[in-house]
């Protein structure tokens, strides 16, 4: 009994509530005679789709910059990677790989600059990163319209500027989702995407056990401790920021291939928020996170959104209520997590 | 009306089994300057916390004994009650608002207001401030403490000494003040300012206010106090009138403890051995522990002690050499200069440091014991890793084995090497810190306050371990401690730091009187008495 109590305590009350809510939604879906297997397939498809973006939060949190609201920078790099690879005419797995490669080059560069900037603003990283994220998205709204892309699949028919939504058909639409896909009892399992997410998680897990990874975690947890062992805290924060940005870039590419479209202009603006809400639901805080937080969080968060939408629409015949609920859940979770943040992580 | 304004009778206090005050009795008469003397950790602050009803006391189980004010049982349960009871405190650290004028600071929260229409409707907080009346009060209070500055000056930018006087003026300005506690008020003052302050204290006392004067400057005690209480390790060792006191006598009473060197034998004279660490003109900008030009030489194989009172700069020395705080000067190790402000280099050269701030600097509280122990060695020497070209992975097997060895060696009481260090007791945390430092395989080990806040059993274990490390592995140890007894029990030579400089280098066998005098900076003044003769 004592053990169960302690287990529940470490699992955390918020997660228990959300888990109960999720179970409640499942029951409601069945009671209301909605197509439960199809809904569940949807949840399972969305897990790896959003999972990598959520994973991008982990290095940021661990290196001490807190919740990386500026992951939109990585998302922009990912979108650049995809548009450039399409412009080059790369398709299929090659196209996907080229997109990731180009994205990584951009996100490393952006991430470095962003990390260096955050080092000058210790203590208020989360506020700064939110606005940096917004500004970069706004700036790129001009970029998308002005960059000299020529591919007819991407630009407006009149010939200048990228379209807001670009279909990936014929390039790498569902390239991961359809790899080894199979169906059991009406539930579709996107094997490739799941493996990709688990692979990424494994790589991050390995990194966190490497010399640099351990130093980075120490720098985030206790900067003075890290300095006393001769570690440059600023450098480690940049490492974490770069990593978070790079994973964010890969995350949007995985997201887009699953979705089938890439979305430019204002679409990336609020993406950081869902990723942050997911990792927080999974049990992370502004200074502590693990791979299991990512996996649990993305499952619960997507589960509630995917199931909640039809259930709510079925129960209350109000238009757009599900969208309202999504916003309430996402931002509510973020507010809850921010109230738990203890002080700044900076030395002063 | 009672004869005494304050009586604290048979006060006892323990913090989780650790007796910090035992049967202490203090009686203060109106108009008396009562000095409270003692080393760091003697129990002075705890006694004051009890007097002011600080929450830390009640939340740790209250205290034993009685506190009487004007002969009546005190009902003080918060610092606010203390103010109402007419007890004021002049803090060691200034509690002033830099952007406010002197007047505003003195009258803060006790402003004089002029009623107007709004205030009649909405209450007192709407009154307009009567700056003239406030300035008049402030000036009167400042004059009382012997201070002549314009009451409209901004506090920011004033010399430290002035701030101290403003702080005092604020207490004096409070109506019905009966007892003022001065917590080491002269620590930050120049000699001239200190003399003015003592004069002001005497005037205040003459006006009937009782003063409780906490200090460690012995000459000031003799100079100012009427009655002296000395605490040592939480017990009251003396309560005497100033007429019966001399500086050497006070020094001896303050420190006088037995040291036990029976296991180690007499201190060794290793000054013929080569110098391993040479420090020239070291200045370190560590807040509260500034080092202002220290010269030292540590010989190979020595256990070298650095002692002195808190705030004098002894802690700044290892912190500066290890690059934790900005330092200047020349430090050479084994004949070669060490680049300062570069922790990595210091670690590479074979120096290691056990910080005095265990929880803040020494440990990752949310990581396991084993990860803490190997952290520095892993980061600075690349040990305990599997290597794959440019990639590395921690070697969990090796880390586990090493941690288990250390747990056994240092007798770390834990549920296993995977336990988080944040859950350990202070003593066991300290052992983890020591284990972390020696995992580096250092040639010279700095340990800073190794026994602060840990129980007696762990104290002995840590000290024994340090001397064994020195004798068996040949590691040179530099130990910084506020506890003189500890230094005397294991060191070969002891440097006493006073006001950021080396006051004296002494032998552990020197008398307590000499140590006490050196710690109070008395020796220097006596030898070079020409400069500040007026004391």
Residue A318 has pLDDT above 90, yes or no: no
Percentage of the residues of chain B whose pLDDT score is greater than 70: 93
Q: Are strands B501-506 and A165-167 parallel, antiparallel or unpaired?
A: unpaired
Q: Inform me whether the C-beta atom of residue A236 falls under 8 Å from chain B C-beta atoms.
A: no
Residue A242 has pLDDT above 90, yes or no: yes
Residue B527 has pLDDT above 50, yes or no: no
pLDDT in tens, A172-216: 888 888 888 888 888 888 899 999 999 999 999 999 999 999 999
Residue B289 has pLDDT above 90, yes or no: no
Model confidence at B93, pLDDT cuts 50, 70, 90, reads low
pLDDT in tens, A16-39: 888 888 888 888 888 888 888 888
pLDDT in tens, B187-241: 667 777 788 888 888 888 888 889 998 887 788 888 889 999 988 878 888 888 8
Could you tell me which residue, B459 or B377, shows the higher pLDDT? B377
Q: Are the C-beta atoms of A179 and A191 separated by less than 8 Å?
A: yes
The answer to whether the CB atoms of B394 and A222 lie below 8 A apart is: no
In this prediction, residue A60 carries a pLDDT of 93
Task: Report which secondary-structure segment, H or E, holds B18.
Answer: strand B18-28
Distance from CA of A109 to the nearest CA of B (A): 21
Could you tell me which residue, A37 or A115, shows the higher pLDDT? A115
Residue A312 has pLDDT above 90, yes or no: no
In this prediction, residue A348 carries a pLDDT of 29
Chain A positions touching B394 (Cβ under 8 A) are 209-211, 214
Residue B365 has pLDDT above 60, yes or no: yes
Percentage of the residues of chain B whose pLDDT score is greater than 90: 21
Nearest to A222 among B343, B364, B385 (CB): B364
Distance from CA of B389 to the nearest CA of A (A): 12
| Averaged pLDDT for residues B48-64 | 84
What are phi and psi for residue B230, nearest 5 degrees? -115, 130
| Averaged pLDDT for residues A269-289 | 86
Determine the Cα–Cα distance for residues A248 and A275; give it in Å rounded to an integer.
Answer: 10
Distance from CA of A206 to the nearest CA of B (A): 7
Nearest to A228 among B353, B378, B385 (CB): B353
Chain B positions touching A222 (Cβ under 8 A) are 360-361, 363-365
Q: Which of A204, A228, A239 to mutate to test the interface with B (most CBs of B within 10 A)?
A: A228
Q: Are the C-beta atoms of B414 and B424 separated by less than 8 Å?
A: yes
For chain B, what is the total number of helices (H) and then of strands (E)? 19, 24
Determine the Cα–Cα distance for residues B219 and B410; give it in Å rounded to an integer.
Answer: 43
| Helix, strand, or coil (residue B15) | strand
Q: Under 8 Å CB-to-CB from B503, ≥6 apart: which residues?
A: B308, B496, B497, B518, B519, B521, B523, B524
Residue A244 has pLDDT above 50, yes or no: yes
The answer to whether the CB atoms of B324 and A228 lie below 8 A apart is: yes
In this prediction, residue A76 carries a pLDDT of 94
Percentage of the residues of chain A whose pLDDT score is greater than 70: 95
In terms of CA atoms, which chain A residue is nearest residue B396? A209
Interhelix angle A72-87/A92-119, rounded to 10 degrees, is: 150
Q: Are the C-beta atoms of A297 and A54 separated by less than 8 Å?
A: yes
The answer to whether the CB atoms of B360 and A228 lie below 8 A apart is: no
In this prediction, residue B530 carries a pLDDT of 37
Distance from CA of B338 to the nearest CA of A (A): 14
Domains of chain B with bracketed CATH? 6-85+178-255 (3.40.50.300), 275-362+441-527 (3.40.50.300)
pTM of the predicted protein model: 0.73
Taking any CB pair shorter than 8 Å as contact, residues of chain B touching chain A are 322-324, 342-348, 353, 355, 357, 360-367, 371, 375-376, 378-380, 382, 385, 391-394
Chain B positions touching A214 (Cβ under 8 A) are 371, 375, 378-379, 394
First vs last Cα of chain B: how many Å apart?
A: 37
Distance from CA of A184 to the nearest CA of B (A): 38
Model confidence at B72, pLDDT cuts 50, 70, 90, reads confident
The answer to whether the CB atoms of B362 and A229 lie below 8 A apart is: no
Q: How many CB atoms lie within 10 A of CB A31?
A: 9
Model confidence at A238, pLDDT cuts 50, 70, 90, reads very high
Residue B532 has pLDDT above 60, yes or no: no
In this prediction, residue B456 carries a pLDDT of 64
| Helix, strand, or coil (residue B129) | strand
Nearest to A221 among B322, B366, B376 (CB): B366
Q: Inform me whether the C-beta atom of residue A221 falls under 8 Å from chain B C-beta atoms.
A: yes
What DSSP line would sit under B429-482, residue for residue? Answer: HHHHHHHHHHHT--SEEEEESTTTT--HHHHHHHHHHHHHHHHHH--EEEEE-S
DSSP E strand boundaries for B157-202: 179-183
Chain A positions touching B392 (Cβ under 8 A) are 210-212
The answer to whether the CB atoms of B361 and A225 lie below 8 A apart is: yes
Nearest to A221 among B364, B385, B392 (CB): B364
Q: Inform me whether the C-beta atom of residue A10 falls under 8 Å from chain B C-beta atoms.
A: no
Distance from CA of A161 to the nearest CA of B (A): 43
Residue A333 has pLDDT above 90, yes or no: no
Q: Are strands B235-241 and B227-232 parallel, antiparallel or unpaired?
A: antiparallel
Nearest to A231 among B322, B379, B385 (CB): B379
């Amino acid at each position: 009994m004592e053990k169960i109590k302690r287990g529940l305590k470490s699992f955390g009350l918020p997660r228990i509530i959300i888990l109960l809510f999720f179970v409640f939604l499942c029951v409601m879906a069945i009671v209301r005679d909605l197509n439960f297997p199809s809904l569940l397939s949807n949840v399972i498809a969305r897990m790896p789709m959003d999972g990598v973006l959520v994973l991008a939060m982990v290095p940021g949190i661990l290196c001490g910059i807190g919740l990386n609201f500026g992951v939109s920078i990585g998302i922009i790099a990912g979108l650049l990677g995809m548009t450039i690879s399409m412009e080059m005419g790369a398709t299929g797995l090659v196209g996907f790989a080229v997109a990731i490669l180009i994205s990584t080059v951009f996100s490393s560069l952006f991430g470095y600059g962003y990390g260096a900037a955050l080092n000058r603003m210790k203590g208020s990283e989360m506020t700064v990163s939110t606005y940096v994220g917004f500004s970069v998205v706004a700036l790129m709204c001009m970029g998308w319209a002005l960059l000299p892309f020529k591919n007819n699949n991407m630009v407006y028919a009149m010939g200048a500027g990228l379209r807001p939504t670009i279909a990936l058909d014929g390039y790498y639409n569902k390239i991961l989702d359809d790899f080894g896909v199979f169906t059991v009892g009406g539930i579709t399992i996107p094997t490739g995407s799941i493996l990709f997410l688990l692979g990424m998680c494994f790589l991050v897990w390995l990194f966190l056990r490497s010399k640099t990874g351990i130093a980075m975690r120490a720098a985030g947890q206790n900067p003075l401790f890290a300095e006393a062992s001769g570690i440059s805290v600023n450098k480690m924060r940049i490492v974490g920021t770069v990593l978070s940005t790079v994973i964010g870039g890969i995350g949007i590419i995985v997201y887009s291939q699953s979705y089938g479209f890439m979305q430019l202009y204002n679409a990336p603006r609020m993406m950081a928020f869902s990723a942050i809400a997911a990792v927080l639901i999974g049990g992370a805080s502004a200074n502590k996170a693990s791979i299991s937080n990512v996996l649990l969080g993305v499952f619960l968060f997507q589960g509630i959104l995917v199931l909640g939408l039809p259930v709510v629409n079925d129960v209350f015949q109000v238009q757009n209520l599900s969208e309202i609920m999504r916003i309430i859940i996402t931002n509510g979770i973020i507010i809850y997590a921010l109230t738990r943040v203890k002080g700044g992580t900076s030395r002063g | 009306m009672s004869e005494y304004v304050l009586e604290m009778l048979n006060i006892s206090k323990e913090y989780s089994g650790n007796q910090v005050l035992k049967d202490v009795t203090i009686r203060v008469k109106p108009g008396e300057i009562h000095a409270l003397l003692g080393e760091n950790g003697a129990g002075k602050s705890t006694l004051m916390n009890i007097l002011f009803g600080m929450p830390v006391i009640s939340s740790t189980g209250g205290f034993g004994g009685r506190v009487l004010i004007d002969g009546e049982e005190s009902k003080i349960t918060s610092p606010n009650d203390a103010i109402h009871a007419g007890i004021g405190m002049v803090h060691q650290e200034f509690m002033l608002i830099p952007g406010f004028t002197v007047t505003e600071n003195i009258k803060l929260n006790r402003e004089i207001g002029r009623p107007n229409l709004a205030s009649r409707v909405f209450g007192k907080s709407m009154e307009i401030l009567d700056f003239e009346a406030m300035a008049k009060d402030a000036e009167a209070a400042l004059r009382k403490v012997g201070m002549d500055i314009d009451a409209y000056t901004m506090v920011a930018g004033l010399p430290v000494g002035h701030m101290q006087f403003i702080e005092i003026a604020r207490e004096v300005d409070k109506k019905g003040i009966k007892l003022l506690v001065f917590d080491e008020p002269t620590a930050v003052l120049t000699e001239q300012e200190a003399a003015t302050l003592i004069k002001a204290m005497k005037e205040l006392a003459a006006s009937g206010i009782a003063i409780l004067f906490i200090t460690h400057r012995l000459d000031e005690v003799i100079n100012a106090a009427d009655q002296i209480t000395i605490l040592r390790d939480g017990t009251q060792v003396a309560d005497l009138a100033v007429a019966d006191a001399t500086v050497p006598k006070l020094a001896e009473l303050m420190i006088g403890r037995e040291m036990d060197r029976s296991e180690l034998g007499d201190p060794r004279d290793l000054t013929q051995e080569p110098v391993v660490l040479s420090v020239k003109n070291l200045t370190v900008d560590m807040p509260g522990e500034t080092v202002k030009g220290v010269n030292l030489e540590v010989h190979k194989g020595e256990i070298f002690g650095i002692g002195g009172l808190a705030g004098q700069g002894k802690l700044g020395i290892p912190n500066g050499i290890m690059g934790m705080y900005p330092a200047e000067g020349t430090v050479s190790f084994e004949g070669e200069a060490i680049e300062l402000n570069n922790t990595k280099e210091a670690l590479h050269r074979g120096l290691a440091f056990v910080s005095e701030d265990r929880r803040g600097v020494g440990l990752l509280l949310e990581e396991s014991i084993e990860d803490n122990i190997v952290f520095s060695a892993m980061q600075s020497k690349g040990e305990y890793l599997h290597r794959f070209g440019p990639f590395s992975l921690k070697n969990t097997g090796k880390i586990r084995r090493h941690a288990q060895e250390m747990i056994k060696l240092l007798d770390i009481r834990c549920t296993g090497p995977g336990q988080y260090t944040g859950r350990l007791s202070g003593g066991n945390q300290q052992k983890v810190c020591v284990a972390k430092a020696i995992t580096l395989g250092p040639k010279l080990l700095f340990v800073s306050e190794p026994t602060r806040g840990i129980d007696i059993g762990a104290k002995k274990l840590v000290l024994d371990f340090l001397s064994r490390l020195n004798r068996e592995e040949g590691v040179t140890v530099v130990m910084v401690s506020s506890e003189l007894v500890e230094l005397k029990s294991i060191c070969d030579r002891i440097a006493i730091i006073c006001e950021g400089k080396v006051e004296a280098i002494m032998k552990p066998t020197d008398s307590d009187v000499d140590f006490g005098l050196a710690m109070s900076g008395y020796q220097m003044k006596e030898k070079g008495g020409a400069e500040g003769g007026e004391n």
